[in-house]
Amino acid sequence: MKIVVTGAAGFLGRRLIQALLAREQLTDDAGQVQRIEQITAFDVVPLEGINDSRLLVQTGDIADAAQVEKLIQPDTASVFHLAAIVSGQAEQDFELGMRINFDATRALLERIRALGTGARFVMTSSVAVFGGALPTTVDDQQVWAPQSSYGTEKALADLLLADYSRRGFVDGRSLRMPTIVVRPGKPNRAASSFASGIIREPVNGVSAICPVAPETVLWLMSPDRAIENLVRGHELSKAQLSRGRVLNMPGLSITVGAMIDALRRVAGAEVAQRIAYERDPAIERIVNSWPGNFSAAYARELEFTFDEDFDSVIKAFVASNRLSEMSY
């Protein structure tokens, strides 16, 4: 089978491609296990550093219908759509956010509809679709009330995916991801970027700013669980998804203060002291609009995975961080 991954040069895209190449196979529409023959890795910049004869690296503009037409072919069995403009940037540049987070998703769904293949389509959505007055634990029946353009665009994409799936145009699955922590690399323009920064920077001997109060409750998922869940989202049969195509993922509910306590336990007091609180109202407004805990009952029934404790998340980051240092 042939697979397309958008946002392939991003952190999750790269890891997903590595996982798929290692896995070697996926289940198709008919429930049959199929060998992965080709993965097209699409992004604005080329995916680099993975050598594999099954990998085809392409670059382009994912919101350009002509590019999408070339990218998605009659033999494309599955698409993992990860390309996105992060929350902070989508708030600053409204047109860019709408173009990438919504119009590009629509172009991909439209291409599959035009082909008539009903290809499987796994997408990442976000807890940023929620906002306003919220219960302590958000259940699967909670109304969407995005307080950011990013959250709005993800909700728009979720609605489209659900209707295209209901009509049989695509076989869509949208996973509402918690904040992914710990991301490697540099800070980005996501409002949640600090949630990785306050672990990653101190571990790497660098000071970090925490722009929100220690009581702030976050809903987290580690990169390892995110990749497992993307594959799980693909592997579920249509019959298993009878209660809808948009799934609030399970996660770990934890305060920022408890995250820093865990860092102190795992990496020592000296490391944890590299964090300074310096509150940023723009970031706090967005982050505080996101729920800190979800029941995620539907996704739990479907055996999506989650992190049991934050100490293990930090330990996994420290281990993979050492590995990537060694590779340079």
Q: Give the CA distances from residue 59 to residues 41, 44, 155, 159, in Å, rounded to whole numbers and listed in that order.
A: 8, 5, 26, 28
Query: Which region among 160-168, 223-231, 305-313, 315-323 touches a copy of itself (by CB under 8 A)?
Result: 160-168
Identify the residue among 29, 163, 235, 311 touching a copy of itself (CB under 8 A). 163
**Strands (E) located in 238-318:** 246-248, 252-255, 275-277
Contacts of 222 (CB under 8 A, 6+ apart): 180, 181, 182, 307, 312, 313, 316, 317
The yes or no reply on residue 156 touching a copy of itself (CB under 8 A) is yes
In whole angstroms, the minimum distance from the beta carbon of 44 to a copy of itself comes to 25
Identify the residue among 155, 170, 195, 314 touching a copy of itself (CB under 8 A). 155
In whole angstroms, the minimum distance from the beta carbon of 73 to a copy of itself comes to 22
The yes or no reply on residue 168 touching a copy of itself (CB under 8 A) is no
Contacts of 101 (CB under 8 A, 6+ apart): 84, 85, 90, 150, 153, 154, 156, 157
The yes or no reply on residue 51 touching a copy of itself (CB under 8 A) is no
Identify which of residues 98 and 221 has a Cβ nearer to a copy of itself in the complex: 98
Residues 79-98, one symbol each (x = binds a copy of itself by CB under 8 A, - = not), give ---------------x----
User: What letters, b where the CB count within 10 A reaches 16 and e where it falls short, cover 232-262?
Assistant: bbbebeeeebeeebbbbbbbbbbbbeebbbb
The yes or no reply on residue 149 touching a copy of itself (CB under 8 A) is yes
Q: Is 279 helix (H, G, I), strand (E, B) or coil?
A: coil
In whole angstroms, the minimum distance from the beta carbon of 211 to a copy of itself comes to 21
The token pair that represents 221 in the structure block: 């998922």
Query: Which region among 10-18, 52-60, 141-149, 205-213 touches a copy of itself (by CB under 8 A)?
Result: 141-149
Identify which of residues 31 and 94 has a Cβ nearer to a copy of itself in the complex: 94
Identify which of residues 134 and 231 has a Cβ nearer to a copy of itself in the complex: 134
Query: Which region among 11-19, 148-156, 204-212, 267-275 touches a copy of itself (by CB under 8 A)?
Result: 148-156
- Measured between alpha carbons, how far is 155 from 161 in angstroms, rounded to an integer? 10
Catalytic residue at 164? no
Interface residues for a copy of itself in 255-314 (CB under 8 A)?
A: none
The yes or no reply on residue 141 touching a copy of itself (CB under 8 A) is yes
Interface residues for a copy of itself in 186-245 (CB under 8 A)?
A: 243-244
Angle at Cα 9 formed by Cα 58 and Cα 189, nearest 5°? 130
- Measured between alpha carbons, how far is 124 from 127 in angstroms, rounded to an integer? 10
Angle at Cα 296 formed by Cα 104 and Cα 105, nearest 5°? 5
Q: Give the CA distances from residue 108 to residues 73, 99, 130, 195, 270, in Å, rounded to whole numbers and listed in that order.
A: 11, 12, 25, 31, 48
Q: Which residues bind a copy of itself (CB under 8 A)?
A: 94, 132-133, 140-147, 149, 152, 155-156, 159-160, 162-163, 166-167, 243-244
Instruction: Show which residues are catalytic.
Output: 150
